[in-house]
A and B are shown apart, each in its own frame.
Chain A
Amino acid sequence: MINAFVDFMSRGCNYIICMTAVPVLFGFLMWLFRKHSIMFKIAAFVSAGLNLAAAFGLYAAGDVKTSLPFSAYGFEADFRIYGMSSLFLVFTAAVFLLIAVYSAYSVFGKKYAGLYMLCLYSSLAMVNGALLADNLSIMLFFWEGMLCTLTGILLMGNSEKPKTAVKALTMCGISDLLLMLGLVITSVAAETAKISEISEIPATGAGAVGFALLILGAVGKAGGMPFHSWIPDAASDAPAAFMAVFPGAFGKILGVYFITRTITDIYAYKSEGTAGILIMVLGLITVIYGAAKALWQKDMKRQFAYISVSQFGFILLGAGTGLLAGISGILSGMFMQVISITGLFIISDAVGKRFGTTEIKKITGFGRKMPVAAVCFTVFALSIVGFPVFGGFFSNMLILNAAAETGIVYYIAGLAGIFLTALAFIKTGFAIFGGNKNQRGTREEKKYTGTTGIAAPAIILAVACAASGIWNSLITDNIIGRGAGLYTDRGGWHNALLPAAVSMCLFASALWLRIYISRKPGSLSDTSGEKKSLPETSVLRKMAEAGKFDPYNILMACVGFYSDICTAVEHGVSWIYDTAVPGAVKQAGMVLHRFDNGLLSRYLILAVCGTVGIFAVFLIVLM
């Protein structure tokens, strides 16, 4: 039966339909069941389960290519399933199963529940389509199509506060348009848009521009700098489930998938060049900026959003090295980040539902009320900071080793990023497990529903985090390495003792610093998040809090200035039409009127001049 299913999936356009059209149909089904609690949740589980089964079917089917018969000019509908895409497909489907169940519990009962699930499933169809596409233009179709669903979800329940949705649309729209230009340059350089026929285009001249734009497009989708600023805002405004899905999972999956393909297949990338340095520096800036911002946050969801941004910096760092270890690291890192960050957002949703807030100072001591969530949080946090035993340790190790091979500066800066991330998590951890009694008294407790549906995905993700550390060799070498065609022996504990020691030292230092500082009055941060920052950083901090460094605000200011110039030009042109030309005509008329004195001689002069003029025009034309 399994063989028959695999055979069915690998035939013709069956897999395209199963992975792109069927999820949309499931979305409509969810919309229909939006008012039936049991059916809504069962349908979410069953549909996402079927999607996972289909993805496994494709994984087993091997390399399959299909072209749909109805292709538009320049948009040949070519699709292909092979090692790397099927690996991503299965991972997406597995995460989506948890996300769908969690979302069904999280949003059920809300006015927008049906529409939310429709958008969610449509997004899954887009992600699947982008992973399966074997044509750059078709890939962009699915890739950019997610803008609609992303904006739609952000607007749900926020129609009176649409700023975040517009910000997301603008920032993601810019990155997608840059990607469009990059894809076009790439396909023109390769003389084909078929991805499987493109191989190692030289990243020089126009190719360098194309390469840079592809990377920027992928960075934008994954929520990396400088396209990141909508993510923390979404953490405040959007439904909590949204954060787990888009910045947490889908965006990262697509971004990493395309970066990997760009570096390994499409372009002949070399880390020694300017491009390599730029990517790695961008990665490091993202890591440190994101972690520093996370440290400053007072809200748990915003903190996790910045952690998500920061973590993507590691992906760029690994990608920038262009080394096999780096590529293995970013694939492994992407899997671990998606698991951990999705898990963190699920926990923040659970906390929000329980306490009515995710503000750190108001949830102190929640670990005692929600022990499972607290344990899951600890697992995710330790995995992200690369604490040994958890899966994140191995991905961080691979990336940092590759960075060290490229330049020791990158390695040290990467460690600094991990240190800041650890500090941020420890701050929240203190709130979870510590706090004082007075603060506990201010909690606004609410009836907490959907415990199982929300807790179960978080627990499964936490187990996955731990398991991927314990059986790391299996995951890094056998599943990721072979699936992506990177036949290496990089997983496991051999050669991991020194990195493990470094990681533990970093964590211990962060813990010590946190304890030391919290004992000093007026220190960097207390558990409430109401920091008294160092005087020299306070100005910068105020500017940051006012959004002065937000790329979106800078962009809007520039566009506003540019628009003022355009408006002035426009007024100038209108003045010519509305005032200058009519005025000149009127003046000419008055002159002619004065010239017309009623004498025959004047009429004759006018008639002769006019006739000569007409003849001149005809002569010019006919000559």
Chain B
Amino acid sequence: MGAWILIAGILIPLLGALLLPFIGKMNVKARNAAALILVASAFAGALCALPGALSGNPLSVRFEIPLGLSFGFTGDALAVFMAMTASFVSFIIVVYSLGYIKHYENQNEYYMIVCVFIGAMMGLVYSTNLIAIYTFWEISSLCCWRLIGFYRDEISVRKANKAFIVTVLGALIMLVGFMGIYGQTGTFELAAMKGVHIPSWTVVLILFGILSKSATFPLHSWLPDAGVAPSPVTSLLHAAVLVKIGVYAYARLFVITFRTDDSFTTIVPIIAAVSALISAGAAFRENDIKRVVAYSTISQLAFILLGLSCGNETGLVGGLLYILAHSVAKGGLFLCAGIVEHTLHTKDIRKMGGLAKTMPVTAVAFAMCALSVMGIPPFSGFFAKHLVIEGIVESGNIALAAVFIAGAVMTVMYLARLFIKVFLGPQTFPDVREGTPVMTASVLALGITALLLGLFIFLPSELASLVWGLI
């Protein structure tokens, strides 16, 4: 019976979302409440699966379908960790949306797509089957396309198309890789393929999909452009859900399930290093607040990929904690950027300054999230960054660790630059005020969460360290 909680955690947001437009036509407040409940149900589902994951007896369910095929869901440590992270941050983002999105058209569609998106994410992380993973993957791409093009103007649609084409093309190439694995093993079930050594060409094809989804150089270009979307959307895509799908798939497939050539433990970190450094450099010169944060996402995702790919427990735990720390902190940064943009009607940081005086709560929340992304204690990012660097040094690659330290230095520099340009210095908009209470409360909640996660890092760390046992 308990295993059905997983299905509920997927289907409630996924199918419940279809009702939202109808509820919205009758009562806007009811629709908002329903959207919150749907997202909360995903978090509640993950929370219910937590004891099983911690005890090593995860909730699992499996269905046989015609043609000898099957699919199933499991709530193991990795799945629950990802589900809790994504659904928690998504919940805050939806709360924030209540204040942000209320002036725009297409709200019914917005909430519906967001809930479908979160349901797809839940489905993806719990899935035990490659085809199911691919299906949810593509649902998320569709949602991403609609959400990036939310404003429906020409530029938004063009950028949405770009994101859609890149991620879907990547996914299709990945599907060919899945077919290749099927050709070798005769199954799509992950459990049946555990420990199987897969050919390098399939790894390359799957990596194509993963790197396009997790916006890794040179397949990253869609991510900064996706900043045309409303801020809750960018936060959802760039911080909490979409980009984490790629790194999750990496952990699920290449860390836990398959065995690959050793060369990939060198190649992937090098790709990550290039991605981290180039995007950090670009962030330092960028003047669009959301693009700076987007480049930062690309750079930080490379740290996550590095942790997951260095082939030892320390790196894996570091990478997973990084996913959590980054989701919370980067979600907060995007939402703060949203408040600033929403209030000032510009994204150009050269026109901003001194906002800490008029928007102190947003400034404090932004600073807290930025410190976490920089990896400064006591914020959660510190622990994650430390473990990732330790993981790569344990794998014997000190030079690569040094490259990532350079990336971390760049992170400090571009985020410090962003903060002073926006919140410090002479005031350029003396008459502006904070965002709505619900928006400022949301960003403050994420900032405080980043701090609390650091002070109580042993809690997520316990779950993350169980993932190594799944191998």
Binding site for B on A (CB under 8 A): 70-75, 137, 140-142, 144-145, 147-148, 155, 159-160, 162-163, 166, 169-170, 173-174, 177-178, 180-181, 184-185, 187-188, 206, 209, 559-560, 562-567, 569-570, 573-574, 576-578, 617, 621-623
Q: Give the chain A neighbours of B104 by CB distance below 8 A.
A: none
Q: Once the chains are docked, how many angstroms separate the CA of A306 from the CA of B220?
A: 46
Q: Are A72 and B457 in contact (CB under 8 A)?
A: yes
Q: Are B278 and A566 in contact (CB under 8 A)?
A: yes
Q: Are A621 and B176 in contact (CB under 8 A)?
A: yes
Q: Once the chains are docked, how many angstroms separate the CA of A185 from the CA of B401?
A: 10
Q: Give the chain B neighbours of A145 by CB distance below 8 A.
A: 376-378
Contacts A185-B401, A188-B393, A578-B162 aside, 6 further interface pairs with beta carbons under 8 A come to A71-B458, A177-B409, A181-B398, A559-B284, A567-B285, A573-B220
Q: Contacts A140-B386, A173-B374; is A74 near B424 (CB within 8 Å)?
A: no
Q: Contacts A141-B378, A145-B376, A181-B401; is A187 near B357 (CB within 8 Å)?
A: no
Binary A-proximity of B256-293 (CB < 8 A = 1, otherwise 0) = 00000000000000000000011111101110000000
Q: Are B284 and A73 in contact (CB under 8 A)?
A: no
Q: Are B425 and A160 in contact (CB under 8 A)?
A: yes
With an 8 A cutoff between CB atoms, is B461 at the interface?
Answer: yes
Q: Are B458 and A72 in contact (CB under 8 A)?
A: yes
Q: Once the chains are docked, how many angstroms separate the CA of A144 from the CA of B374?
A: 11
Q: Are A577 and B317 in contact (CB under 8 A)?
A: no
With both chains docked as a complex, state the minimum distance between the C-beta of A100 and any C-beta of chain B, in angstroms: 22
Interface segment, one of B5-13, B29-37, B45-53, B410-418: B410-418
Q: Contacts A73-B317, A209-B398; is A178 near B183 (CB within 8 Å)?
A: no
With both beta carbons as reference points, the residue of chain A lying nearest to B387 in the complex is identified as: A74
With both chains docked as a complex, state the minimum distance between the C-beta of B412 and any C-beta of chain A, in angstroms: 4
With both chains docked as a complex, state the minimum distance between the C-beta of A22 and any C-beta of chain B, in angstroms: 16
Q: Are B393 and A185 in contact (CB under 8 A)?
A: yes
With both chains docked as a complex, state the minimum distance between the C-beta of B163 and any C-beta of chain A, in angstroms: 10
Q: Contacts A142-B377, A170-B416; is A177 near B408 (CB within 8 Å)?
A: yes
9 nearest A-B pairs in the assembled complex, by CB-CB distance: A566-B281, A72-B461, A563-B284, A145-B377, A162-B424, A72-B458, A173-B412, A72-B457, A563-B281
Q: Once the chains are docked, how many angstroms separate the CA of A177 from the CA of B303?
A: 15
With both chains docked as a complex, state the minimum distance between the C-beta of A173 and any C-beta of chain B, in angstroms: 4
Q: Are B383 and A185 in contact (CB under 8 A)?
A: no
With both chains docked as a complex, state the minimum distance between the C-beta of B386 and any C-beta of chain A, in angstroms: 6
Q: Give the chain B neighbours of A166 by CB distance below 8 A.
A: 416-417, 420
Q: Are B281 and A159 in contact (CB under 8 A)?
A: no
Q: Once the chains are docked, how many angstroms separate the CA of A467 from the CA of B279?
A: 57
Q: Are A188 and B390 in contact (CB under 8 A)?
A: yes
With both chains docked as a complex, state the minimum distance between the C-beta of A169 and any C-beta of chain B, in angstroms: 6
With both chains docked as a complex, state the minimum distance between the C-beta of B203 and any C-beta of chain A, in angstroms: 14
With both beta carbons as reference points, the residue of chain B lying nearest to A122 in the complex is identified as: B378
Q: Once the chains are docked, how many angstroms separate the CA of A386 from the CA of B405?
A: 40
Residue from A209, A559, A617 in contact with B413 in the complex, judged by beta carbons closer than 8 Å = A559
Q: Give the chain B neighbours of A137 by CB distance below 8 A.
A: 386
With both beta carbons as reference points, the residue of chain B lying nearest to A561 in the complex is identified as: B281
Binary A-proximity of B298-342 (CB < 8 A = 1, otherwise 0) = 000000000000000010011000000000000000000000000
With an 8 A cutoff between CB atoms, is B389 at the interface?
Answer: yes
Q: Are B424 and A159 in contact (CB under 8 A)?
A: yes
Q: Once the chains are docked, how many angstroms separate the CA of A134 from the CA of B314?
A: 20
Q: Are B377 and A144 in contact (CB under 8 A)?
A: yes
Q: Once the chains are docked, how many angstroms separate the CA of A623 from the CA of B374?
A: 47
Q: Contacts A73-B461, A570-B278; is A181 near B376 (CB within 8 Å)?
A: no
Q: Give the chain A neighbours of B385 by CB distance below 8 A.
A: 180
Q: Give the chain B neighbours of A185 by CB distance below 8 A.
A: 393, 398, 401
Q: Are A577 and B376 in contact (CB under 8 A)?
A: no
Q: Contacts A177-B405, A570-B278; is A74 near B314 (CB within 8 Å)?
A: yes
Residue from A163, A560, A563 whose CB has the most chain B CB atoms within 10 Å: A563
With an 8 A cutoff between CB atoms, is B21 at the interface?
Answer: no
Q: Give the chain A neighbours of B413 by CB distance below 8 A.
A: 170, 559
Q: Once the chains are docked, how many angstroms separate the CA of A576 from the CA of B279?
A: 17
Q: Are B281 and A173 in contact (CB under 8 A)?
A: no
Q: Once the chains are docked, how many angstroms separate the CA of A141 from the CA of B378?
A: 7
| CB<8 Å pairs between A and B, sample of 16 | A70-B456, A73-B387, A74-B318, A75-B457, A159-B354, A166-B416, A173-B409, A174-B409, A180-B389, A181-B402, A184-B390, A185-B401, A566-B278, A567-B286, A573-B220, A578-B221
With both beta carbons as reference points, the residue of chain B lying nearest to A622 in the complex is identified as: B183
Q: Give the chain B neighbours of A178 by CB distance below 8 A.
A: 405
With both chains docked as a complex, state the minimum distance between the C-beta of A607 and any C-beta of chain B, in angstroms: 22
Task: Give chain A's interface secondary structure class.
Answer: helix
Q: Are A567 and B425 in contact (CB under 8 A)?
A: no
With an 8 A cutoff between CB atoms, is B70 at the interface?
Answer: no
Q: Are A73 and B282 in contact (CB under 8 A)?
A: no
Task: Give chain B's interface secondary structure class.
Answer: helix
Q: Are B405 and A169 in contact (CB under 8 A)?
A: no
With an 8 A cutoff between CB atoms, is B166 at the interface?
Answer: yes
Q: Give the chain B neighbours of A560 by CB distance below 8 A.
A: 284-285
Q: Give the chain A neighbours of B383 by CB distance below 8 A.
A: 72, 74-75
Q: Give the chain A neighbours of B417 by CB distance below 8 A.
A: 166
With both chains docked as a complex, state the minimum distance between the C-beta of B223 and any C-beta of chain A, in angstroms: 11
With both beta carbons as reference points, the residue of chain A lying nearest to B468 in the complex is identified as: A73
With an 8 A cutoff between CB atoms, is B371 at the interface?
Answer: yes
Q: Give the chain B neighbours of A206 by CB distance below 8 A.
A: 398
Q: Give the chain B neighbours of A188 by CB distance below 8 A.
A: 390, 393-394
With both chains docked as a complex, state the minimum distance between the C-beta of B322 and any C-beta of chain A, in angstroms: 13
With an 8 A cutoff between CB atoms, is B180 at the interface?
Answer: yes
Q: Are B382 and A141 in contact (CB under 8 A)?
A: yes
Q: Are A74 and B317 in contact (CB under 8 A)?
A: yes
Q: Give the chain A neighbours of B462 by CB distance below 8 A.
A: 73
Residues of B324-377 contacting chain A, CB below 8 A: 354, 356-357, 371, 374-377
With both chains docked as a complex, state the minimum distance between the C-beta of B241 and any C-beta of chain A, in angstroms: 23
Q: Are A180 and B386 in contact (CB under 8 A)?
A: yes
Q: Give the chain B neighbours of A567 by CB distance below 8 A.
A: 281-282, 285-286
With both chains docked as a complex, state the minimum distance between the C-beta of A201 and any C-beta of chain B, in angstroms: 14
Q: Once the chains are docked, how many angstroms separate the CA of A559 from the CA of B282?
A: 11
Q: Are A160 and B376 in contact (CB under 8 A)?
A: no
Q: Are A74 and B390 in contact (CB under 8 A)?
A: yes
Q: Give the chain A neighbours of B458 by CB distance below 8 A.
A: 70-72, 75
Q: Are B357 and A159 in contact (CB under 8 A)?
A: yes
Residue from A144, A563, A574, A578 in contact with B285 in the complex, judged by beta carbons closer than 8 Å = A563
With both chains docked as a complex, state the minimum distance between the C-beta of B246 and any C-beta of chain A, in angstroms: 18
With an 8 A cutoff between CB atoms, is B198 at the interface?
Answer: no
Q: Are A623 and B183 in contact (CB under 8 A)?
A: yes
Q: Once the chains are docked, how many angstroms separate the CA of A576 from the CA of B217?
A: 13
Q: Give the chain A neighbours of B356 by CB distance below 8 A.
A: 159
Q: Are B387 and A569 in contact (CB under 8 A)?
A: no
Q: Give the chain A neighbours of B464 by CB distance below 8 A.
A: 73
Q: Once the chains are docked, how many angstroms separate the CA of A578 from the CA of B222?
A: 10
Q: Give the chain B neighbours of A617 by CB distance below 8 A.
A: 176
Q: Give the chain B neighbours of A142 by CB distance below 8 A.
A: 377
Q: Once the chains are docked, how many angstroms separate the CA of A623 from the CA of B182?
A: 11
Residue from B217, B394, B408 whose CB has the most chain A CB atoms within 10 Å: B408
Residue from B183, B376, B464 whose CB has the most chain A CB atoms within 10 Å: B376
With both beta carbons as reference points, the residue of chain A lying nearest to B313 in the complex is identified as: A73
Q: Give the chain B neighbours of A621 by CB distance below 8 A.
A: 176, 179-180, 183
With an 8 A cutoff between CB atoms, is B430 at the interface?
Answer: no
With both beta carbons as reference points, the residue of chain B lying nearest to A159 in the complex is identified as: B424
Q: Give the chain A neighbours of B374 by CB distance below 8 A.
A: 173
With both chains docked as a complex, state the minimum distance between the C-beta of B350 and any C-beta of chain A, in angstroms: 16
Q: Contacts A141-B382, A169-B412, A177-B405; is A573 near B221 (CB within 8 Å)?
A: yes
Q: Give the chain B neighbours of A578 by CB distance below 8 A.
A: 162, 221
Q: Contacts A162-B425, A180-B389, A621-B183; is A570 near B282 (CB within 8 Å)?
A: yes
With both beta carbons as reference points, the residue of chain B lying nearest to A556 in the complex is identified as: B413
Q: Once the chains are docked, how many angstroms separate the CA of A617 from the CA of B173?
A: 12
Q: Once the chains are docked, how many angstroms separate the CA of A163 from the CA of B416?
A: 10
With both chains docked as a complex, state the minimum distance between the C-beta of A72 and any C-beta of chain B, in angstroms: 4
Q: Once the chains are docked, how many angstroms separate the CA of A423 from the CA of B114?
A: 70
Q: Once the chains are docked, how many angstroms separate the CA of A112 from the CA of B401?
A: 40
With both chains docked as a complex, state the minimum distance between the C-beta of B378 and any C-beta of chain A, in angstroms: 6
